[in-house]
Amino acid sequence: MSAAWAVIVLTTMDGGAARAVDVLARADQQVSLHVAVREEGAGRCVLYTDAPKVRSGCVVRGWPKGWSATWYKVESAEAAYDNLAGGRFAFAPIRWARSRWRDAVSVEADVTPILRQGLPEAWKAGTMRYQVAVSGPGGGVVWSPGLEEAAPGGPKRRNDIRKVTLRWADTYLGYMAELAGLPYVFGSAAQGREPHQAERRVGVDCADLMVYGLRRMGHDVAYRSSRTLSPVSRAVVPRITARKGGVYLFEGAPITVGPDGVQPGDWLVFEGHVGAFVADRGQLGVLDEQDLLMHIAWRELAVEPLLRSGYGAAPFEIRRANALALESAN
């Protein structure tokens, strides 16, 4: 295969047309990846692929016999990065690593990490980048674009590679789950004219994860730290410092979970950290250390019991985003 060949990753969703675009979808939608090889020369281009309904300015032909394709998942090489290392802000270089995944021409998209920690299987949510290598019968391998360079702040949009982002549901928690599998980035931020690292799906810190979910729902909320969430939220339960038998107490009484108490999406705000309440577990109807928290802290996004979160014994308050409180009232 000569230098006139280029390998492209096409995507389809729910049987639609194949295009060279990233995908944002729900976990219950069918997203597929298709390899295409573009040949250019003599004033025309030919696209070889088995993808359906291809949208391209090239002449489209079927996948040639004797050609093979190997897919790779591309993930962060590290679980966490620090934009404030050394006490001053500077975008940390994000390093990437690829892992061999499947040998096929077309595959169903799968965002389950190989190197990093993902969400429980039932969620089927997160973000994954892909690279593919094509081998021809005459020898030689041609690759689709990759992320070999450890760019500060992660790849800019024009330099990024094909990625698929799946949300668990069209809900606040569902949108936050889109960032599963990505690294924790302390002090995540926008980068010049580039969008915020969360919205480029490079990485995120705890408070920006909470804001990302609101923004994906269409709410105009600025990114902020865990210590500056009060202006965009209201108190549900003030500072909680007591537990008894694993149950959290306020003024000596258990804290209710349900329509008149703590609800999914409410923020548990600790000193220097924040997560979102997901579901009632353990002793039903009250907040206890078996209840599930969605958060990210020096490793990938997790949904886990408060007891295992590293914050189960720390004082916290419960707050509700103003945007979610308004939606609930309506």
Phi, psi of 297 (to 5 degrees): -155, 95
Q: Other CB atoms closer than 10 Å to residue 14's CB: what's the count?
A: 10
Residue 205 corresponds to which tokens in the numbers above?
């810190």
Tens-digit pLDDT profile for residues 179-233: 999 999 999 999 999 999 999 999 999 999 999 999 999 999 999 999 999 999 9
Instruction: Tell me the C-alpha to C-alpha distance, in Å, between residue 190 and each of 184, 187, 195.
Output: 15, 10, 5
Helix, strand, coil share of the chain (percent; to 5)? 15, 40, 45
Q: What is the pLDDT of residue 66?
A: 93
User: d(Cα 214, Cα 327) in Å, to the nearest integer?
Assistant: 11
Which single residue is written with the structure tokens 């990437």? Answer: 96
Q: Between vectors from CA 178 to CA 175 and to CA 184, what angle results, nearest 5°?
A: 115
The residue extents of the domains of the chain are 5-169, 226-329
Average confidence score pLDDT of the chain: 95
CA–chain centroid gap for 175, Å, is 9
Phi, psi of 165 (to 5 degrees): -125, 120
More confident residue, 243 or 327: 243
pLDDT higher than threshold 60 for residue 121: yes
DSSP per position, 259-299: TTSB-TT-EEEETTEEEEEEE--SSTTB-BTTSEEEE-SSS
Nearest-Å Rg of the Cα atoms of the chain is: 22
Q: Where are the alpha helices (DSSP H) in the chain?
A: 172-176, 206-216, 322-329
Tens-digit pLDDT profile for residues 127-164: 999 999 999 888 889 999 999 889 999 999 999 999 99
Of 182, 171, 265, 250, nearest to 217 by C-alpha is 171
Report the pLDDT averaged over residues 295-315. Answer: 97
Q: The whole model's pTM is what?
A: 0.94
Instruction: Tell me the C-alpha to C-alpha distance, in Å, between residue 102 and each of 28, 68, 79, 329.
Output: 21, 11, 24, 47
CB contact set of 22 (below 8 Å; sequence gap of 6+): 11, 162, 163, 164, 165
Tens-digit pLDDT profile for residues 54-90: 988 889 999 999 999 999 999 999 999 999 998 999 9
- What does the DSSP 8-state code read for residue 54? B
